[in-house]
Amino acid sequence: MEEQAAQASKGRRPSGRDAKRAARTARSHNFVPYITRKIPYYEVLSQEGLELLEHNADTILQEIGIDFREDPESLELFKAAGADVQGERVRFPRGMCRSLVAATAPREFIQYARNPARSVLIGGNNTVFAPAYGSPFIRNLDEGRRYARIEDFRNFVKLAYTANSLHHSGGTICEPVDLPVNKRHFDMVYSHIKYSDKPFMGSVTQPERARDTVEMAKILFGADATDPTTGRPRTVVISLINANSPMTFDATMLGALKEYARANQATIVTPFILAGAMSPVTIAGTVAQTLAEALAGMTLTQLINPGAPVVLGSFASSLSMQSGAPTFGTPEPALVLYAMAALARRLGVPFRSGGGLCGSKIPDAQAAFESANTLLPTCLAGVNFVLHTAGWLEGGLAMGYEKFVMDADQAGMMHTLLAGVDLSDNGQALDAIREVGPGKHFLGCAHTQANFENAFYRSPLADNNSYEQWEAEGATDMAKRANTLWKKQLAEYEAPPLDPAIDEALLDFIARRKASFADSNI
């Protein structure tokens, strides 16, 4: 992984002028499996401020406690570990969760991809970009907004595979509502495996769906599913476990969490918070509560399987007083994000938050302002696993085709930002300044010639032509150009090779499992 990490800072996206060439290049040169940052973190709070919020989180865990609903096993585990359990309410002695998590949860871990060159290192100085997650609708310029189908799901897996700036295939990119609720996880996981070779996420909507995910991963990885040195299962799936904020975990999420933790698969324990509804309206209150909830959930993973990879997640939005709807890209969630990232570092665990979040229904200026105001803090704060990097519209209700490629472009820019300032002799460029001198220009000088090709990030979607040329070419907005780009990318998509025997075994497993119980939309 060290070599991959070393490459990360050199990441550049191609111009998009020739997607076919770019795709080939991607696989050989430009693709980095994840980013290793070379710029400092941005911190909004002092260490004293962070200690205060940790203290408050401990107060919440000790005084108020967390409810674990309909899950006697979890209650037993907490009790045995020293917690005070009254009914479904669990109160934790001050510091208990922190020390249990810090003792055994890994600071960083590898999630293996079926293509080893695409395995990701989650945690530390690294950033992994994954697509948006969970939308029932899709939107594009041609059809507007409609319910998502499995074909859309496959399209987004293909687009995520094509995007050099995205490192992960994601999970429930959109809900394939044309398939029965109790069987669609087979098709989703299969799509990730078949149409991409990047790492992917598992199903969490029922414990048995988590088990199906683990089974399919075992078929895919075969002997590679086990670490030959430790004999432990390798982490090949990462899954999203949301707390039912405030201060509650429900049986469904707990069931999935336990399945994955037992199988040594990674979980992201994420309090899902609309501040003002699920938490106080203040930043400091929201942060302390988020930390308390996440600590409780992460502790459970370590009680189930000490050492199981677990990520501290934070999803915080604020509530619109006018409409009661969540708002995105406003300053308050960014401040929560900066604080939570610092707290995760202090705890010594990987952190998930942020992405390209927005409340806008369409890929307009609102969507872009809000997304940029989320993605830039995401990167400066040091988020390790960025869910919702690309495609998010309408507070997560819709997955946008145009928005997806726009966000992937922005993620590409973040590769360049996170690479920081080159202070080598070539970066200092004093000889170029000597060569050119006052009143001349640098366009033709030797240093420019040698460096221009990779000097600046080049967006495939930004129009920087003259006004006259832009007008002659149809006076397009970015959304229109994005519409052209995603269609081109889908048309030129080529699937990564998959061993036919594995493919057959997977299809056989799915067919048998699907036949073993009736369709249902619950």
Question: What is the closest distance, in whole angstroms, from the C-beta atom of residue 321 to a second copy in the complex?
Answer: 6
Kindly indicate which of the ranges 167-175, 299-307, 411-419, 501-509 contains the residues binding a second copy, using the contact rule CB under 8 A.
411-419
Q: Which one of residues 32, 160, 193, 278 is an interface residue with a second copy (CB under 8 A)?
A: 278
Q: Which range of residues in 42-50, 78-86, 180-188, 298-306 is near a second copy by CB under 8 A? A: 42-50
Contacts (CB under 8 A) with a second copy, residues 418-437: 420-423, 426-430, 432-434, 436-437
Decide if 382 contacts 354 (C-beta within 8 A). no
CB of 330 to a second copy, least distance (A): 5
Residues 6+ apart with CB under 8 A from 323: none
- Concatenate the DSSP letters of all residues of 365-413 into one string: HHHHHHHHHHHHHHHHHT-SEETT-S-EEGGGTEEEHHHHHHHHHHHHH
| Residue 417 interacting with a second copy (CB under 8 A) | yes
How far is residue 147's CA from residue 157's CA, in Å, rounded to a whole number? 17
Closest approach of Cβ 395 to a second copy, in Å? 8
* Coil vs helix vs strand at 119: coil
Asked whether position 290 contacts a second copy by CB under 8 A, the answer is no
Residue 145 or 346 having the CB closest to a second copy: 145
The residue type of 256 is: A
Could you tell me the smallest distance in angstroms from the CB atom of residue 283 to a second copy?
5
For a second copy, the closer of residues 217 and 362 by Cβ is 362
- Give the separation between CA 521 and CA 206, rounded to whole angstroms: 13
Between 171 and 356, whose beta carbon lies closer to a second copy? 356
Check residue 321 for interaction with a second copy (CB under 8 A).
yes
CA–CA separation, 491 vs 482, rounded Å? 14
Site string for a second copy, 51-90 (x = CB under 8 A): -x---x--xx--xxxxx---------------------x-
Site size with a second copy, rule: CB under 8 A: 123
What gap in Å lies between CA 177 and CA 148, rounded to an integer? 6
DSSP state of 415: H
Q: Is the peptide bond before 246 cis (omega within 30 degrees of 0)?
A: yes
In sequence order, what DSSP letters do the residues of 310-376 get, joined into one string? EEEE-EEEEE-TTT--EE-SSHHHHHHHHHHHHHHHHHTS-EE---S----SSSSHHHHHHHHHHHH
Q: Residue 52 or 81: which CB sits closer to a second copy?
A: 52
> Is residue 231 close enough to count as binding a second copy by CB under 8 A?
no
CA distance 358 to 371: 5
Window of 146-154, 187-195, 298-306, 320-328 that interacts with a second copy by CB under 8 A: 320-328
Q: Characterize the bridge pairing of strands 248-249 and 66-68.
A: parallel
Q: Determine the interface stretch with a second copy among 146-154, 197-205, 255-263, 357-365 (rule: CB under 8 A).
A: 357-365
Residue in 115, 108, 121 with CA at minimum distance from that of residue 35? 121
Structure tokens at 452: 């221009």
Site membership for a second copy, residue 326 (CB under 8 A): yes
Residue 463 binds a second copy (CB under 8 A) = yes
3-state helix, strand, coil in the chain (%, to 5): 50, 15, 35
Q: Which 433-462 residues touch a second copy, going by CB under 8 A?
A: 433-434, 436-443, 447-448, 451-453, 455-459, 461-462
- Interface residues for a second copy in 375-394 (CB under 8 A)? 376-377, 380, 394
One character per residue 105-134, x = contact with a second copy (rule: CB under 8 A)? ------------------------------
Which of residues 208, 227, 477, 492 is near a second copy by CB under 8 A?
477
**Rounded distance between C-alpha atoms, residue 57 and residue 312, angstroms:** 14
Tell me which residues in 175-204 interact with a second copy (CB under 8 A).
none
Q: Does 521 bind a second copy (CB under 8 A)?
A: no
Helices H, strands E: what count in the chain? 19, 20
44 binding a second copy? (CB under 8 A): yes
As a whole number of angstroms, the distance between CA 312 and CA 317 comes to 17
